[in-house]
Amino acid sequence: MLLLAFDTAPPIITVAVHDGDRVVGQAAGEGAMAHGELLAPAIRDAVAQAGATMADLTDVAVGVGPGPFTGLRVGVVTALTLGSTLGLTTHGVCSLDIVAADVQVAGEFLVATDARRKEVYWARYGGDHVRLDGPHVAIPADLARQHPDLPTYGRGGQLYAEVLRSAGDASDPRAAALARIVVSGSARELPLEPLYLRRPDAVPQVLPKRA
């Protein structure tokens, strides 16, 4: 197996190559509105670091969100294209599950990421890292009232630490964690479709018809 994994839900894009035993190549790029320009070079660098070529890949895994419209579309379309053109086995995973995979805590916890508009995407997890509820989108104060005692991991918890019980350093979904849970068989896989949870920020303008 040679698995290519990436997530484009957060501002920071991460890419990893896993050979079935360990991560053998990694790359990253940062730019909230530049996912399309950053992903391809990061994939190229990670594959080269692994001492492989694109033709050597057997699988591709992608975080399907929730996240912003543009970033998710870039990642999912890239995974679908690679799967089709190279004949790769494809794997889709909730991006909140990827963050949860890096959490080291006993008992239940929350993962919250930045949903913009002063909201967070969130999900609740058990001590075995299995998702128990979500994903949802909510105002941080509402989430805090719903789960006042649970520690919150992820960028959303850090952004709204005055409301949520922010805990630990786990922030954005990492491609290395995505690769690890897919290879281990512990990932709860989803179709390769962007998980938006709400309508995109940008909508086409409707011009009035001329008489």
Q: What are the domain boundaries of the chain?
A: 3-95+172-190, 103-159
Per CATH, the number for 103-159 is 3.30.420.40
- Specify the amino acid at residue 126: G
Q: pTM of this prediction?
A: 0.90
Q: Look at residue 184 in the predicted model and tell me its pLDDT.
A: 97
Higher pLDDT, 59 or 167: 59
What mean pLDDT is predicted for residues 162-176? 89
What mean pLDDT is predicted for residues 75-87? 97
Q: Look at residue 161 in the predicted model and tell me its pLDDT.
A: 93
Q: CATH fold of 3-95+172-190, please?
A: Nucleotidyltransferase; domain 5 (3.30.420)
Q: Look at residue 193 in the predicted model and tell me its pLDDT.
A: 94
- Specify the amino acid at residue 114: D
In this predicted model, what pLDDT tens digit does every residue of 90-138 receive, in sequence order? 999 999 999 999 999 989 999 999 998 999 999 999 988 999 999 999 9
Smallest CA-to-CA distance from 31 within 14, 16, 19 is with 14
171: its two tokens: 């922030």
* Sign of CA pseudo-dihedral 104, 172, 87, 42: negative
Same CATH fold, 103-159 and 3-95+172-190? yes
Q: Is the pLDDT of residue 208 over 70?
A: no
Q: Is the pLDDT of residue 178 over 60?
A: yes
Q: Look at residue 31 in the predicted model and tell me its pLDDT.
A: 63
142: its two tokens: 């509402």
* Sign of CA pseudo-dihedral 192, 98, 167, 135: positive
In this predicted model, what pLDDT tens digit does every residue of 18-77 receive, in sequence order? 999 999 999 998 765 567 788 999 999 999 999 999 999 999 999 999 998 888 999 999
